[in-house]
Amino acid sequence: MSTIRNHRDLEAWRWALETAIETYKLTDRFPSSETYGLRSQMRRASVSVPSNIAEGQSRPARACLNHLSIALGSLAELDTQVEVALRLKYVTVDDAKELRRVQESTTRLVAGLRRAKRMQITGSTVIGAVTILGLFLSLAR
């Protein structure tokens, strides 16, 4: 396993970036009347995902969890917006297929990254508590 130096080393960030690119491609097909409506909302939601992963990676583990949760929320928001676009017939199911594929993979990766961060926090908390308890017991003797 390679060392993670920054957000660019995270597979979740790379897939999230691809989700944003696919969103831009899909929303190019929308009618011009949606320039400031659904198109804009979808683009903001999609860019929010890699942005929150990147910001979270630069922060302590607990803050990172919050940013990963926000990224997952943005992915759910984007999923809903794709559904609205489909029902309004701005795009077809075939048009949205690639975005949905990339988005599903991104969601799995971000959720996995969040689980790993939680385990890292929980593990370090347990180790820290055991160390403190051991120190306390040795001083009490």
12 touches 106 (CB < 8 A): yes
Q: Which two tokens stand for residue 40?
A: 């804009």
Region label for 70, one of left (φ > 0), alpha (ψ between -120 and 50) or beta (otherwise): alpha
- Amino acid in position 128: G
How far apart CA 32 and CA 128 sit, in angstroms, is 57
Q: What is the mean pLDDT of residues 110-131?
A: 79
First vs last Cα of the chain: how many Å apart?
42
Q: List, in order of start, the domains of the chain with CATH numbers.
A: 8-140 (1.20.1440.60)
pLDDT digit string, tens, across residues 44-79: 999 999 999 999 999 998 999 999 999 999 999 999
pTM as predicted: 0.83
Residue type, 85: A
CA distances from 24 to 10, 39, 86 (A): 22, 8, 15
Residue 127 has pLDDT above 60, yes or no: no
Residue 139 has pLDDT above 80, yes or no: no
Has residue 141 got a pLDDT over 80? no
| Alpha helices (H) along the chain | 11-27, 38-57, 61-87, 93-140
